């Protein structure tokens, strides 16, 4: 059994060049396992937009990713050695396994998961941080009422796809926004949103008005920000709610991303709440149980974009930031 862990580390902070060039692949020798530690062979790694934010040396809700250290990220895998009473060899786990082939250390934040009825990757998607983020934004912030018109941006992505399906379950009219006809077809035909608008199309604004049918917007699950959000703000109904989940259109670089018309907050009495899923730890059990129930009733479906090979994490991550993925973006660990 190999006692090396291959790792993707942050070798420099982003500048004007490619994000992909900020990472490098290294091999690290693992010491003997200590009492209370586990060693996990990672099988799938989660690629998440928040990692881009942490590449900056700037104040945020999490500390910057340290230079020359393995990229911190969720992963799923199998325990290959354990000196911890709660974990056994062969257990499947999800936790902060990071962008590496093997995690070794204390199992803080790791939980055992069952793959009896559900694939392991689901714990990085709807039954993981992704799904809980969608659930919090919809159920705790937007709280859609039956018949209300709700917009979901980045609708074909990991969070947006689940958020929209939860809104549908609550009886809302759900309007997705995504980049390109292939994604929009997926959002309506597979995910079951009422409609989906292609923000890259030249008639996006007209198609938005067409979809709203003169009734205005009651809620927005906002993953994108920028010009899309500005258009929505002008069309809000009184007391509309915005769950501000992400602002990926700004690229999560150091440049501020403005909101064009602050008057609309006042005139439409809009509530906009920025939220971070890790602030809602007490809600995770109910969220996961609710989502598991929706999965078993087959009212939630999802897709994964899986890229093979740890060495391809930087490329896959960069491609996700430019919108290549549909659904949850994952890297499958293969031997390198």
Which residues, 6 or more positions from 99, have their beta carbon under 8 angstroms from its beta carbon?
7, 8, 45, 70, 71, 73, 75, 310, 313, 331
Binding mask 268-297 for ligand NDP (x = CB under 6 A): -------xxx--------------------
SS3 content of the chain, % helix, strand, coil (to 5): 30, 25, 40
Residue from 39, 102, 139, 183 touching ligand NDP (CB under 6 A): that is 183
- When the beta carbons of 81 and 141 are compared against ligand NDP, the nearer one is 141
- When the beta carbons of 33 and 251 are compared against ligand NDP, the nearer one is 251
CA-CA distances (angstroms) from residue 255 to 52, 81, 258, 323? 13, 45, 10, 20
- When the beta carbons of 184 and 295 are compared against ligand NDP, the nearer one is 184
Q: What is the DSSP string of 181-231?
A: HHHHHIIIIIS--SEEEETTSTTHHHHHHHHHTT--EEEEEESS-THHHHH
CA-to-CA distance for 135 and 141, rounded, in angstroms? 9
As measured in angstroms, the least distance from the Cβ of 41 to ligand NDP is 24
Residue from 79, 94, 240, 320 touching ligand NDP (CB under 6 A): that is 320
Using rule CB under 6 A, residue 157 touches ligand NDP? yes
Q: What is the DSSP string of 68-108?
A: TSBPP--EEEEEEEE-STT--TT-EEEE---SBSEEEE--T
Using rule CB under 6 A, residue 49 touches ligand NDP? yes
Q: Nearest-5° angle of CA 95, CA 5, CA 75? A: 20
The secondary element (H helix, E strand) that includes residue 141 is: none
Using rule CB under 6 A, residue 101 touches ligand NDP? no
CA-CA distances (angstroms) from residue 23 to 7, 11, 88, 161? 10, 5, 33, 29
Question: Which span sits near ligand NDP by CB under 6 A: 30-38, 178-186, 229-237, 307-315?
Answer: 178-186
Residue from 8, 196, 248, 287 touching ligand NDP (CB under 6 A): that is 248
Q: Which residues of 269-282 are buried (b: 16+ CB within 10 A; e: fewer)?
A: ebebeeeebeeeee
Using rule CB under 6 A, residue 309 touches ligand NDP? no
As measured in angstroms, the least distance from the Cβ of 47 to ligand NDP is 8
Binding mask 197-236 for ligand NDP (x = CB under 6 A): --------------------------xx------------
As measured in angstroms, the least distance from the Cβ of 200 to ligand NDP is 8
Binding mask 102-131 for ligand NDP (x = CB under 6 A): ----------------------------x-
Residue from 48, 91, 148, 304 touching ligand NDP (CB under 6 A): that is 48
Structure tokens at 164: 């929209």
Rg, C-alpha atoms of the chain: 20
Q: Which residues pair with 327 in a beta bridge?
A: 157
Question: Which span sits near ligand NDP by CB under 6 A: 14-22, 84-92, 139-147, 177-185?
Answer: 177-185
Contact assessment for residue 120 and residue 45, using Cβ atoms and an 8 Å cutoff? no
State CA 135 to chain mean position distance: 12
Residue from 22, 151, 158, 307 touching ligand NDP (CB under 6 A): that is 158
Residue from 56, 78, 323, 332 touching ligand NDP (CB under 6 A): that is 323
Using rule CB under 6 A, residue 313 touches ligand NDP? no
- When the beta carbons of 97 and 226 are compared against ligand NDP, the nearer one is 226
Q: Which chain residues interact with ligand NDP by CB under 6 A? A: 48-50, 130, 133, 154, 156-160, 178-179, 183, 223-224, 245-246, 248-249, 275-277, 320-321, 323, 325, 329
């Amino acid at each position: 059994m190999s006692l090396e862990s291959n790792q993707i580390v942050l070798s420099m902070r982003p500048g004007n060049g490619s994000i992909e060039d900020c990472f490098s692949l290294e091999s690290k020798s693992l010491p003997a396992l200590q009492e209370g530690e586990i060693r996990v062979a990672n099988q799938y790694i989660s690629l998440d937009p928040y990692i881009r934010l942490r590449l900056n040396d700037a104040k945020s809700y999490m500390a910057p990713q340290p230079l020359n250290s393995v990229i911190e990220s969720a992963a799923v895998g199998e325990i290959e050695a354990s000196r911890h009473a709660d974990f056994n060899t062969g257990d499947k786990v999800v936790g902060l396994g990071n962008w590496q082939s093997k995690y070794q250390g204390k199992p803080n934040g790791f939980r055992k998961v069952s793959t009896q009825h559900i694939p392991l990757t689901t714990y990085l998607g709807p039954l993981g941080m992704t799904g809980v983020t969608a659930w919090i934004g919809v159920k705790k912030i937007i709280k859609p009422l039956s018949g209300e018109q709700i917009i979901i941006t980045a609708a074909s992505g990991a969070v947006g796809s689940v958020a929209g399906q939860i809104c549908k379950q609550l009886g809302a009219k759900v309007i997705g926004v995504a980049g390109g006809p292939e994604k929009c077809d997926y959002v309506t035909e597979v995910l079951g949103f009422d409609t989906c608008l292609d923000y890259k199309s030249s008639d996006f604004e007209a198609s938005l008005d067409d979809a709203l049918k003169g009734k205005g917007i009651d809620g927005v699950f906002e993953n994108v920000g920028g010009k899309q959000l500005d258009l929505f703000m002008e069309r809000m109904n009184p007391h509309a709610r915005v769950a501000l989940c992400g602002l990926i259109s700004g690229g999560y670089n150091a440049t501020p991303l403005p909101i064009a018309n602050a008057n609309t907050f006042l005139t439409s009495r809009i509530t906009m709440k920025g939220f971070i899923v890790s602030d809602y730890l007490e809600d995770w059990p109910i969220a996961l149980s609710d989502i598991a129930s929706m999965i078993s009733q087959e009212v939630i479906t999802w897709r994964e974009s899986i890229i093979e090979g740890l060495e391809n994490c930087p490329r896959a991550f960069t491609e996700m930031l430019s919108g290549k993925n549909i659904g949850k973006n994952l890297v499958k660990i293969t031997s390198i």
